Amino acid sequence: MKHYGFQRAEQDLIYKVIAGSRAYGLDLPTSDTDYRGIYMQPNEYMLSTGYAEQVADKTNDIVYYDINRFMSLLQQNNPNIIENLYVPDKCVIHIDDRMMPLYENRDAFLTKKIKYTFGGYAISQIKKARGLNKKIVNPMPKDRLTPLDFCYIFEKEDGYMMKAKQWLRKHNFNQDHIGLSEMPNGVQLYKVYYDWLGEQENDNPRYETLNSQPRYRGIISDDGHEIRHSEIPKGAPLHGFLYYNKDGYSSHCKDHKEYWEWVGNRNPHRYNDNVQNKHNYDGKNLMHCLRMLDMAIEIANGEGVNLVRPNREWLLSVRKGQVAYEEIMELITQKKDDMDAAFDTSPLPDKVDADLVYNILLEIRS
């Protein structure tokens, strides 16, 4: 038995629609066209290892769901799944008669869970927008910083602290000739020593060293990722104390990795839209956040699922970065409070009637 795949799913479709921004009327000329659909697998696939609950094309612009999978997600009030049943008529590409028991009873799947599914999705868009805002406003250089950038030295004689690189420049020291000795009971604290003779030999290969002269290992390892210790001979002159902000370096490495992964994966058209707007936020994320909150409030108030938004032009102005970031955040906070209040008094049921789900699925498959 072959595994059920995308091409076979297209033959077994009972429902196919245009989804996403084009269904909301919030698309731009650069927007992709997304398609969603429902298929019914023949019994030989349903009852074998060839069963596939969901299939997609290579770009994930087209996604199809097996009817059982679709009903399961619908019962959980998954926002994208609910929206697929409420696209405008012009976005419905195909609807089979077998689909009608579900399509005609779609309102019966709206419950108070929507507060958490639509609301949760909206909050996730805020987090994404804030994360992108941080990335745009604070771009990172290609080269990652080293532990040395997170080291600070307290001078024994002068009695004040400065960045290690600044201290090295001040004394014209080479970090390779520094020796560190860990301080007892200190957290990332070290004593600092300097190898004068090693420096002279480095400048003059013919310089003869004394066996008693220390040769230190430097502040950071050869791979540039760790602080390292040196063996310090008794009586070596102490220059000061070093503090290494190890947590700061670990956080920088994580942020650097995330930033450059984002650079590699970002949509160039969408990114250009974001950086060209003067507010430096992801307009698409915040637009959808506002849209989802409005829809959740309407559903809670018994107004149904209105996919095409009446405030389309204003939402597009958010997408294009024409509204202040602070104004949007304040509005989102207010809408979230409104949503909570609407669901507190909503006539919607707490959950979907399980018998209804069974009967609809049985009728479709019959």
- CA R_g for the chain: 31
Please calculate the CA angle 72-74-80 and round it to the nearest 5 degrees: 125
3-class DSSP state of 66: strand
350, amino acid identity: D
In this prediction, residue 205 carries a pLDDT of: 45
pLDDT, one tens digit per residue, over 212-227 is: 455 788 998 877 788 8
Nearest CA among 113, 40, 28, 123 for reference residue 78: 113
What are the structure tokens assigned to 63, written together? 């996604």
Higher pLDDT, 60 or 97: 97
**Within 13-142, where are the H helices?**
21-24, 43-46, 67-75, 79-84, 100-103, 114-137
The DSSP code sequence of 273-338 is HHHHSTT-S-HHHHHHHHHHHHHHHHHHTT-----S-TTHHHHHHHHTT-S-HHHHHHHHHHHHHH
pLDDT, one tens digit per residue, over 245-259 is: 998 999 889 888 887
pLDDT, one tens digit per residue, over 176-201 is: 899 999 988 778 899 999 887 655 55
**pTM tops 0.75:** no
In this prediction, residue 212 carries a pLDDT of: 44
Is 313's pLDDT higher than 90?
yes
- % of the chain with per-residue pLDDT over 70: 85
Average pLDDT, stretch 47-67? 89
Between 61-70, 201-210, 263-272, the lowest mean confidence (pLDDT) is in 201-210
In this prediction, residue 195 carries a pLDDT of: 83
Higher pLDDT, 195 or 310: 310
Tell me the average pLDDT of the chain: 85
Q: Which domains does the chain have, with CATH numbers?
A: 1-109+350-366 (3.30.460), 112-141+267-348 (no CATH), 147-245 (no CATH)
Instruction: Give Cβ neighbours of residue 74 (< 8 Å, ≥ 6 apart).
Output: 81, 82, 85, 109, 352
Nearest CA among 118, 82, 136 for reference residue 289: 118
